[in-house]
Amino acid sequence: MIELIKATAREHLAVDGPNLSLRAVARDIGVVSSAVYRYFTSRDDLLTALILDAYTDLGDAVETAEQAVPRSDFAGRWQTLGRATRNWANANPPEYALLYGSPVPGYTAPPDTVGPASRVVQRLALIMRDAHAAGELAAPPHQRLPRPLRADLTALVALPEFGGTSVAIVARGMTAWTLLFGLISFELFGRLTNGIHDYEAYFEHQWRGIAGFVGLP
């Protein structure tokens, strides 16, 4: 039943956006609206469940795809990670908008979404770390950093998924991470409708381009 509610709610996301109507979901299932309260304590609770599911689904899809590539094919792993993320987003646009679109007004995601939310970027970091460990990651040029930014980045280098790299590498990894979701958002939110027609080719090219920027072969 919980699954049925969530599935129906997901369908509604596609039409109404994040202003999910609990009553409409109940109506679709053929149940009275108060019945939903047996399974979710509130509308926000249902929304949170959907968000968590979506993060998990995306994380699984990306990890599965990336894991199928030979470990030492860093460029291949990189490309696969990007492609899997984009594919998931194209297969689940409303979920993507829920996760990476504008925040729902009046709703704040509970702290237990943080973990699942960072699986993609962690995976991305892992590829760079592995390439770095194998000596196949070109070192970015040295750049001066203001002290507070250096502090932030230093803390990130200390994380296990970035461990052993450098502040400059982490910064470029974050550039790529930002670009990844920027590319997908532009595609799904209609920024490319004037100019680009072959979205897939465009994405593949842009994503490959940034691989060079982060130092991958």
* Minimum CB distance to DNA smaller for 21 or for 90: 21
Q: Which stretch binds a second copy (CB under 8 A): 1-9, 34-42, 131-139, 169-177?
A: 169-177
Q: Select the residue interacting with a second copy from 46, 171, 211, 216 (CB under 8 A).
A: 171
Q: Is 174 in the site for a second copy (CB under 8 A)?
A: yes
170, 176, 181, 183: CA torsion to nearest 10:
170
Window 96-125: residues binding a second copy (CB under 8 A): 97, 100-106, 114, 118
Nearer to a second copy, 30 or 195 (CB): 195
**Which residue from 1, 2, 4, 19 is in contact with a second copy, where contact means CB under 8 A?**
19
CA-CA distance, 14 to 96, in Å (whole number)?
A: 10
Which CB sits closer to a second copy, 30 or 102?
102
The residues in 131-160 that bind a second copy, with binding defined as CB under 8 A, are: 141, 143, 145-146, 148-149, 151-152, 155-156
SS3 assignment for the chain: CHHHHHHHHHHHHHHHCCCCCHHHHHHHHCCCHHHHHHCCCCHHHHHHHHHHHHHHHHHHHHHHHHHCCCCCCHHHHHHHHHHHHHHHHHHCHHHHHHHHCCCCCCCCCCHHHHHHHCHHHHHHHHHHHHHHHCCCCCCCCCCCCCHHHHHHHHHHHCCCCCCCCCHHHHHHHHHHHHHHHHHHHHHHCCCCCCCCCCHHHHHHHHHHHHHHHHCCC
Q: Is 16 an interacting residue with respect to a second copy (CB under 8 A)?
A: yes
182 binds, among a second copy, DNA, none (CB under 5 to 8 A by kind): a second copy
Among residues 109 and 138, whose Cβ is nearest to DNA?
109
Q: Which residues of the shown chain bind a second copy in the complex (CB under 8 A)? A: 15-19, 97, 100-106, 114, 118, 141, 143, 145-146, 148-149, 151-152, 155-156, 171-172, 174-175, 178-179, 181-183, 185-186, 189-190, 194-198, 201-202, 205-206, 208-210, 212-213
